[in-house]
């Protein structure tokens, strides 16, 4: 679950203390600003991300006073996600290069290998996709539906992993702490070989596509891999799992990007 950071954790949050905003009802009358959103979200006493988003959407006049009064207890995460998807619509809102950076892939060639050229991606598009079927590989900017389908392929359909790619070094250090780098890499690749060979997606997923030729590993593979390992060793998967509140926070972020025309 995304956690609010303490205001004293770094200079960015310290600086927020010095920013001033007008009375919230000024923004309700004249329109919200990006500064209002940032301060309201990160400096608010409201602990729940869900309630914070409701408050900001109320001040932005997206949620009306009468609706909040009557349906306050029924405006939950599912309702908010549907509302945010509706508000975002089907406009092109994120550059593909920004999506690539968001998922932790530095190289455009690596991104192409995982998505456009991989057999796993082509299988996903054929069997599960509605919007990516018509997506031109040369497209520079993505719609919400395209982003969500790319993430579903990347994170997994059932058990969703985190958004950012894993590195072999990161996983090796995590699973084989206090051992040499070479031992960590060797043991990690042995375990991943066994996992991919035994997993149901073995026919679609070549080992080369996932880690032999790259430093980055797809979160879908890792979350399944770690879920198997946790029955044999003590592994905390809290930071590896993408939950309902993560998705709500992500959609709200895309809404802010669209609203304020951020890159």
3-class DSSP assignment, residue 194: helix
What per-residue string of b and e applies to 170-205 under the rule 16 or more CB within 10 Å gives b? bbbeebbeeeeeeebbeebeebbeebbeeeeeeebb
Q: What is the mean pLDDT of the chain?
A: 85
* 200 touches 181 (CB < 8 A): no
Helix (H) or strand (E) holding 167: strand 166-167
Residue ranges per structural domain of the chain: 11-75, 92-263
142-158 pLDDT, tens digit per residue, is 999 999 999 999 999 87
The pairing of beta strand 92-95 with beta strand 166-167:
unpaired
Looking at residue 90, the DSSP 8-state letter turns out to be T
34-69 pLDDT tens trace: 989 988 888 888 889 999 999 999 999 999 999 998
Which residues neighbour 86 within 8 Å (Cβ) at sequence distance 6 or greater? none
pLDDT of 135 over the 70 cut:
yes
Instruction: Report the alpha-carbon distance of residue 19 to residue 29 in Å, rounded.
Output: 21
The residue that leads in pLDDT, 116 or 105, is 105
* Closest alpha carbon to 177 in 251, 233, 252, 97: 233
Q: Give residue-wise pLDDT tens across range 172-229.
A: 999 999 999 999 989 998 888 888 777 755 455 554 455 555 678 889 989 989 988 8
Q: Is the pLDDT of residue 230 over 90?
A: no
Helices (H), 21-167: 24-30, 34-43, 49-59, 65-71, 77-88, 96-102, 108-114, 119-127, 144-155
Residue showing tokens 């192409």: 112
Tell me the Cα Rg of the chain. 21
Whole-number pLDDT of residue 248: 96
Q: Which SS3 state, helix, strand or coil, does residue 108 take?
A: helix
Q: What is the pLDDT of residue 18?
A: 54
Q: What is the pLDDT of residue 23?
A: 82
Question: Would you state the pLDDT for residue 11?
Answer: 55
Classify the C-alpha dihedral 6-79-55-254 as positive or negative. positive
* Contacts of 173 by beta carbon, 8 Å cutoff, 6+ apart: 184
Q: Alpha-carbon distance 98 to 146, whole Å?
A: 14
pTM of the model: 0.84
Task: Please give the Cα distance from 136 to 116 (Å, whole number).
Answer: 10
pLDDT at position 239 is 87
């Amino acid at each position: 679950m995304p956690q609010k950071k303490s205001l004293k954790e770094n200079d960015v949050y310290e600086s927020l203390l010095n920013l001033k905003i007008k009375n919230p009802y000024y923004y309700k009358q004249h329109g919200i600003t990006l500064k209002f959103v940032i301060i309201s979200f990160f400096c608010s006493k409201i602990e729940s991300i869900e309630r914070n988003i409701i408050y900001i959407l109320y001040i932005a006049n997206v949620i009306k006073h009468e609706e909040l009064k009557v349906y306050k207890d029924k405006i939950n995460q599912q309702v908010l996600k549907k509302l945010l998807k509706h508000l975002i619509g089907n406009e092109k809102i994120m550059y593909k290069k920004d999506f690539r950076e968001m998922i932790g892939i530095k190289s455009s060639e690596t991104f192409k290998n995982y998505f456009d050229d991989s057999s796993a991606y082509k299988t996903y598009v054929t069997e599960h996709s509605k919007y990516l079927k018509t997506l031109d590989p040369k497209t520079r900017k993505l719609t919400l539906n395209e982003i969500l389908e790319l993430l579903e392929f990347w994170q997994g359909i059932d058990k969703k992993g985190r958004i950012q790619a894993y590195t072999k070094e990161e996983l090796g250090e995590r699973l084989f702490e206090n051992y040499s780098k070479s031992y960590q890499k060797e043991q990690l690749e042995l375990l991943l070989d066994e996992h991919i060979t035994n997993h149901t997606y073995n026919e679609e997923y070549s080992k080369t596509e996932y880690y032999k030729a790259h430093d980055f590993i797809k979160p879908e593979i890792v979350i399944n891999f770690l879920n198997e390992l946790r029955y044999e060793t003590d592994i905390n998967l809290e930071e590896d799992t993408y939950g309902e509140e993560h998705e709500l926070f992500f959609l709200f972020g895309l809404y802010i990007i669209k609203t304020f025309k951020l890159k």
